[in-house]
Homo-oligomer: A and B are copies of this chain.
Amino acid sequence: MYISKSFIPILKNNPSEAKIKSHQLMLRVGMIKQSSAGIYSWLPLGFKVMKKIEKIVREEQDRIGVQEILMPTIQSSEIWKESGRYKDYGEEMLRIKDRQNREMLYGPTNEELITDIFRSSIKSYKSLPQLLYHIQWKFRDEIRPRFGIMRCREFYMKDAYSFDISDEEALFSYNKFFLSYLKTFKKLNLKAIPMAAETGPIGGSLSHEFIILAETGESKIFTDKRVFDLSIDNAKLEKQSLENMRKEYEQYYSVTDEKFDKTEFEKKVSEKNRLITKGIEVGHIFYFGAKYSKPMGASVDLPGGKKDFVKMGSYGIGVSRLVGAIIEAKYDEKNEVMKWPISIAPYHVAIIPMINKNDNSQLDKANNIFSELKKNNIDAIIDDTDENISSKIKKINLIGVPFQIIIGKQSVGDKLEFKEVEGEPQMIELKDVIKIINKQKEKN
Contacts and interface: CB of A to CB of B under 8 A. Distances in A.
Given A47-B70, A99-B141, A7 B132 contact: yes
A409 to B, nearest CB: 27
Interface in A58-78: 67-76, 78
Nearest to A68: B47
A72 B359 CA distance: 43
A178 B311 CA distance: 52
A113 B40 CA distance: 11
A354 to B, nearest CB: 19
Contacts of A52: none
Interface stretch (A120-128, A210-218, A230-238, A270-278): A120-128
Given A73-B137, A74-B106, A96-B94, A41 B113 contact: yes
Contacts of A126: 4
A371 to B, nearest CB: 15
A204 interface: no
| Interface SS, A side | mixed
Interface residues of A, number: 56
Interface string A65-103: 001111111111010000000000001101010111010
A143 interface: yes
A379 interface: no
A72 B40 contact: yes
A104 interface: yes
Given A98-B94, A120-B33, A44 B67 contact: yes
29 contacts: A4-B126, A5-B127, A7-B67, A7-B122, A7-B132, A9-B121, A33-B117, A35-B71, A35-B72, A36-B75, A36-B76, A36-B78, A36-B102, A41-B69, A41-B113, A41-B117, A42-B71, A43-B117, A44-B68, A47-B68, A47-B69, A50-B70, A73-B154, A74-B106, A91-B99, A96-B106, A98-B141, A98-B153, A99-B141
